[in-house]
Every structure is written in C-alpha cells, then in structure tokens.
Amino acid sequence: MHRSTWRRFFRRTALAAAVGAFIAGLTVVTPLAPSAAAAGTLQQVTSFGSNPGNLAMYEYAPSNLPAGAPLVVALHGCTQSASDYHANSGWQKFADQWGFAVVYPQTSSANNSLSCFSWFDSTKDTRGRGEAASVMQMVDTAVAQYGSDRGRIFVTGLSAGGGMTADLLADYPDVFAGGSVDSGIPAQCATTQSAASGCQYSNQNLTPKAWGDKVRNSDPGYSGPWPRVAIWQGSSDTTVTPVNGTELRDQWTDVWGIGQTASSTQNLTGGTTESIYNDSAGKPAVALFSVSGMAHGLAVNPGSGADQCGTTGTYYLNYICSSYHTAKFWGLDGSGGQGGTGSLPSPSGLTVTGTTDTSASLSWSSVSGAASYNVYRNGTKTGSATGTTYTDTGLTVGTSYSYTVAAVDSSGAVGTSSASVTATTTGSAPKCYTDNNYNQVVAGRAHQSGGYTYANGSNQNMGLYNVAITHTLKETSTGYFVIADSGC
C-alpha cells in the first residue's frame, strides 16, 4: 500500500509512534544472486511456482541434511528481510545442530510500503490466495528439493510475520504440524486494513469459541489433527499489546478442545514464564511464553550456551532464546515434542555402529539413573531400549536418517536428547530433481523438440519448453528419468 494510505490508517500520534516498533528491524542487505541452493549458505530460489503473492523465496540447509528431515518456514517483520531474520533469529544454529531446513519468505515494498506481510487482508492471507498461496508453493518446492518429512513442517514469524503465521496455521492445518507466533496477532483477527489497529491495540472481547471459530472457518470441514502452537509475548509490548497473547492462547486451546487453565507453569531465564496446555493425551498442545518487561520484538539471547542464540539489534531483544524453546516444543531436538521434562542429562557418545540396506545400529554411553532410553529417528520416536544399543529396521535403501537418544527415568520423565548422528543405509536410492522445463533441459535431464520438453530415457512429454512449467524427475537408472510429480 502507499505510504500516504498507511499514515491515514495510523492517524493518532501515539499509533504513528508505535508503528516504528511494529516495523521490526530495518536492515539494509545486499541481495543474494539467484542460484540453486548450496548447503550451509542462505540462497534465493527464483522459481517456485506461479507466486500469486509476489514474494521472494530464500532457503537454508545444513550440509549433509538427511532425507526425511523437518522443514521450518520463518517469516520476518515489517521492513526486515530474509537475510536479516536468518542472521539474527538463531534458527541457523538449530538447523545445523538438529538437522532441518529453513525457508524464509520475503515480501517487499511492492506489496506493502513497509514490506509487511498482509495478515490483515483476506485477499492475501487466506487458503489458496495471495501471499498464503505463495508460501505454500515454497513449502512444496522445498519438500521436493530436500525430501522433507511432510509430517514435520512448521512455521514461525515475528510481528506482521507472526500475524501471517497464525493465519497460515488456520489456513493450512493439514500442512503445518506446529507454529510459533512471536509478538503477533490471532488468526484472522482482521480481514481488512481498517480493522488491523484494533487487533494490535485492543481487547476484541471474543470468547475462546469465537476465536476458535476463526480457525475452523479458515479451512471448513477440517477436523484435525491441529498444529501445536507456541505463543511469545512481551509484557511491556505497546505495539502488539499483551492481550494478543491471551487471545492467541484462547484461540488455539479452543481449537484443541482443551481449557484455558495451564497444565503446568514454570519460570525460565530472562524473566520468562512458560505456561503449557496439554492435549487429552497429556502432550503439550499450546505453550504461552510471557516475557516480563520485554517490549515489541523477538526474544534472543546471544552466547555459546546450548540454550542461547541470536544477535541483538533493533527488535531483537536480549531476554531468552525463543528459537531454542520453540524448536524443543516442536520436538526438533529429537524429544518428539515431549519437552524433555526429566532431569536426566543427554546421553553422550551416540555412534552408528553399522548399517545394512534396511537397518541402522546405534550405541551410546549409559546415563546414571536411566531406566530406559528413547530412540528418535528424524525427530520421531522409533523405539526404546533398556540397554545402550539399538537396531532400527525397515528402513529405505540408500537413505540417510538422523538419530538422537534420550534417557528416561523410572517415573517415565524424558531427559535431554543427545546430539544427533546420521546413518545412511547401504545401496542406492533414486535421485529426484524438481525444476522448470527449461532448467531440466539445461541440466541434461530432459531434451526439447518442436517446442515441447521430453524426459531423457523415458521420453515422457513434460509440456512446453519454458520456465513456467515445473516437474519432478526421478532418475531410476543412470540417464533414465521419469516424471514423479506425485512423489519421489
């Protein structure tokens, strides 16, 4: 929108001053050259679909990322960029440590004069439309590229990015296993620009059911499972006032069909109070992190400690590493989202002792006080052992898997997970490549004739020879490719 329109929207002097806080973190960055993703660097992906929301896609993946790893989508605040958010938020540290890829959607002043995601515009933030649809195209592209686990896709965002995160969780509960709304707004609180300031600054006086209905109405007919949602809110935030944290809590506990009384509460570092709301199985479904004294921004905590991350700056505030606690809440540390509530330390010395075409064997050092050990494959519990060895079976040939182990005490409390190791089964698995028809030909996986593109080997017709049509090709043998758009 035009700057003059934005000013009319925030007429009062107090509101205009608060906009400076809402536009989290102006940072001037040099645009990255368009290229294919390279492991260990932030890269732009220039072709990911029709892109109806006019967004840019950036992505990061650590080296040797195994197939079946999780995927996190991270949305910046107004006037921020993908590069800025990647550099300051701390997500890179945990992507490297726990093994997952991160996609950073980026909007621009062409969409909004302050480069805000349009969480308040129903033509852009609803299922299948505008920016929301563009983000989903990025997810599909990344999943095809990395072989990501469709059951472990997560989304997080700050401020306007947090508002869009809540909308995406409501729009696509079938896609996202969890989300984190940082200093953001409840899903579908505003459907027009004129209603946005009321959501930011005022109690909407809605019941939990009314809030929950906004989620249920975003994807009619869907009945679960629902995303597990973390909510981060500063108690001194005057830009997105603390009532938004309460309203988000009401919204998502109602969606889950659970009450608004916390199942457990504990104090964390940085003046942070964590309130957990368990589902009917006793597993955390909603978490509200209230940071005492924190103004508008993302909570970070620079340092080399296991629970520290990020870099301070404008709207990156030194209280607690929110990315660490969010990742643990989702189970990205290998705890399976159980939170690692036990007191036992992480097992050391986790090692891959052998692999076959369909199995991987592990060993680790014993932990004093452990009654058993949980073994997690790609973040999901795959089995348990009373000793310090385990063999995982039924695996796919020529595939890499990430493993962690956690000690369990006699009461069943799960301790901190170990560092991860990667095991690769023997044999060779087909490789898959997703790209537009032009690039498939340039890469030598297809050829063109008479204006059409054909897969090398199988000679399957892929459609017109251009950059607008994208396919996934599977190489089933050397130089022989087949169309595998439905999955590889």
Tell me: the pLDDT tens digits for 219-232?
A: 999 998 999 999 99
453 to 381, 409, 438, 448, 472: CA distances (angstroms): 43, 59, 8, 4, 13
Q: Residue 333: its pLDDT value, please? A: 84
The two counts, helices (H) then strands (E), for the chain are: 11, 26
**What DSSP element (H or E) covers 235?**
none
What 3-state class would DSSP assign to 5? helix
Tell me if 381 sits within 8 A of 336, measured CB to CB. Answer: yes
Pairing of strands 153-158, 178-182: parallel
Q: Residue 282: its pLDDT value, please? A: 82
Starting at the edge strand found earlier in the chain, the sheet holding 360-363 runs: 351-355, 360-363, 389-392
Q: What is this structure's pTM?
A: 0.67
- Residue in 480, 485, 486 with CA at minimum distance from that of residue 434: 485
Token duo for residue 168: 């995406």
65: left (phi over 0), alpha (psi -120 to 50) or beta: beta
Pairing of strands 228-234, 178-182: parallel
More confident residue, 336 or 248: 248
Is the pLDDT confidence value at 22 over 80? no
312 φ/ψ angles, rounded to the nearest 5 degrees = -75, 155
471 bridge partner residues: 435
Q: How confident is the model at residue 33 (pLDDT cuts 50, 70, 90)?
A: very low
**What DSSP element (H or E) covers 156?**
strand 153-158
Q: Residue 249: its pLDDT value, please? A: 98
Considering the chain, what is the average pLDDT of its residues? 88
Q: Residue 342: its pLDDT value, please? A: 60
Give the Cα separation of 65 and 400 in Å (integer).
8
Q: How confident is the model at residue 485 (pLDDT cuts 50, 70, 90)?
A: confident
Tell me if 73 sits within 8 A of 155, measured CB to CB. Answer: yes
Give the Cα separation of 230 and 28 in Å (integer).
30
What 3-state class would DSSP assign to 274? strand
Average of pLDDT values for 5-17?
37
Question: Which sequence positions are flagged as catalytic?
Answer: 159
Max Cα-Cα span within the chain: 71
> Which DSSP state fits 309?
B
Q: How confident is the model at residue 10 (pLDDT cuts 50, 70, 90)?
A: very low
Give the Cα separation of 464 and 361 in Å (integer).
47
> What Rg do the C-alpha atoms of the chain give, in angstroms?
23
Which range has the worst mean pLDDT, 14-23, 92-101, 166-175, 330-339? 14-23
Q: Which residues contact 128 (CB under 8 A, 6 or more apart)?
A: none
Is the pLDDT confidence value at 2 over 60? no
CA 99 to chain centre: 13
Q: How confident is the model at residue 259 (pLDDT cuts 50, 70, 90)?
A: very high
Token duo for residue 117: 């995601």
What 3-state class would DSSP assign to 168? helix
Q: Which residues contact 174 (CB under 8 A, 6 or more apart)?
A: 219, 222
